[in-house]
Structure 1
Amino acid sequence: MALDKPYKDVPGTTIFDAEQSRLGYHLNQFCMSLMKAENRKRFLADERAYLDEWAMTEDQKQAVLARDLNRCIALGGNIYFLAKIGATDGKSFQQMAGSMTGMTEEEYRNMMIGGGRSAEGNRYIGEDGDAQAHRQPQGAAGKKS
Structure 2
Amino acid sequence: MAATAAKRQIPGTTLFDGDMAQKGYALNKMCFSFNHADNRAEFVRDEAAYCARYGLNAEQAEAIRSRDVLGLLAAGGNVYYLAKLAGILGLDVQDLGAAQTGMSKDAFKAMLLAHAKEN
Is the structural similarity TM-score above 0.5? yes
Distance 1:85 1:35 in 2: 10
| Structure 2 runs not aligned, ≥5 long | none
TM-score, structure 2 normalization: 0.86
Q: 2-side partners of 1:66 and 1:3: how far apart?
A: 36
**Is the aligned partner of 1:98 residue 2:98?**
yes
Aligned-residue CA RMSD in angstroms?
A: 1.8
Cα distance, 1:59 vs. partner?
Answer: 0.9
Structure 1: stretches of 5+ with no match in the other structure: 117-145
Cα distance, 1:6–1:58 mapped onto 2, change above 3 Å = closer
Identity of aligned residues (%): 34
Mark the structure with the bigger radius of gyration: 1
Give the deviation of 1:3 after TM superposition. Answer: 4.4
Q: Does 1:13 align with 2:24?
A: no
SS in 2 for 1:94: helix
CA distance, structure 1, for counterparts of residue 21 and residue 8 of structure 2: 16
Q: CA-to-partner distance for each residue in 1:52-100, whole Å, 9 max, x for gaps?
A: 1012211111111111110111111111111111111222111222133
- The alignment of Structure 1 onto Structure 2 pairs a total of residues equal to 115
Structure with more of its chain in helix, by fraction: 2
Q: Which amino acid aligns with 2:98?
A: G
Contact (CA 8 Å) 2:70, 2:99: kept in 1 or not?
no
Paired with 2:110 and 2:82, the residues of 1 have a C-alpha distance of: 23
Deviation at 1:6, TM superposition (A): 4.7
